[in-house]
Structure 1
């Protein structure tokens, strides 16, 4: 499962663990009419997750 734009915009530095190559998704940034941009929890339990950063290499 990848990241959507609301999950990406909700990232903070503390969510990245470069040694473990993971990104924790714990909040999202959404636009609410009359309030502007607001941090909220993901819509579902599955939305709160840890994503592995793939090991990229060049041949």
Structure 2
């Protein structure tokens, strides 16, 4: 997770890595909404899908 203070329309930009979109919704957004002083959340999603294939060595 990385959090950056920015100028402009929004005050913070948060970059996270998650297993799936459900994790983003339930864990991250739900947690941020519960923080005192957070007036609103605007979500923008960019994806980079990584796939790992492991060769177990069996033939």
TM-score (ref. length: structure 1) = 0.29
* Structure holding more strand per residue: 1
Structure-2-length-normalised TM-score? 0.29
